[in-house]
Amino acid sequence: MHEQLIANIRKRVSVSPEELESIKHFFIPKKIRKRQYFLNAGDVTRHTAFVEKGLLRSFSIDDSAHEHVVQFAPEGWWITDMCSFLSGDEAVYNIEALEDSELLLLTKQAMDEMLEQHPKMERFFRLLMQNSIIALQRRIVGTLSLSAEEKYKRMMHLYPDILQRAPQQHIASFLGITPETLSRVRKQVSIGKQG
Partner DNA sequence: CGCGGGTTTGATGATGCTCAAGCCCGGTGG
Partner DNA sequence: CCACCGGGCTTGAGCATCATCAAACCCGCG
Residues making contact with DNA (CB under 7 A)? 64, 66, 147-149, 167-169, 176-184, 186-187
Taking CB under 8 A as the rule, does residue 21 contact a second copy? no
Distance separating alpha carbons of residues 75 and 193, to the nearest angstrom: 30
Query: Which one of a second copy, DNA, none interacts with residue 122, CB within 5 to 8 A by kind?
Result: a second copy
* DSSP letters for 4-57: HHHHHHHTTS---HHHHHHHHTT-EEEEE-TT-EEE-BTB---EEEEEEESEEE
* Cβ pair 152, 189 in contact under 8 A: yes
Work out the angle at residue 77's Cα, subtended by the Cα atoms of residues 164 and 121, and round it to the nearest 5 degrees.
165
Give 107 or 181: the residue with its C-beta nearer to DNA: 181
Binding to a second copy by residue 14, rule CB under 8 A? Answer: no
Please report which helix (H) or strand (E) contains residue 71, including its range: strand 67-74
Select 53 or 142, whichever has its Cβ closest to a second copy: 142
Q: Which residue, 128 or 163, has its beta carbon nearer to DNA? A: 163
Hey, which residues between 144 and 163 contact a second copy (CB under 8 A)? 144-145
Give CA angle at 37 (11, 39), nearest 5°: 70
Quote the CA–CA distance of 18 and 35 in Å, as a whole number. Answer: 37
Quick count: other Cβ atoms within 10 Å of Cβ 46?
Answer: 15
Residue of 41, 83, 110, 148 interacting with a second copy (CB under 8 A): 83
**Site for a second copy (CB under 8 A): which residue of 126, 161, 167, 190?**
126
Per CB under 8 A, contacts with a second copy among 54-73 are: 60, 62, 64, 66, 68, 70-71
Query: Stretches 35-43, 97-105, 143-151, 156-164: which one binds a second copy (CB under 8 A)?
Result: 143-151
Give dist(CA 82, CA 4) in Å, integer. Answer: 21
**Axis-axis angle for helices 148-158, 179-194 (nearest 10):** 70
CB 190, min distance to DNA, A: 9
Partner that binds at residue 167, options a second copy, DNA, none, CB closer than 5 to 8 Å by kind: DNA
Tell me the closest approach of the beta carbon of residue 123 to DNA, in angstroms. 40
Shortest Cβ distance from residue 1 to a second copy (Å)?
A: 26
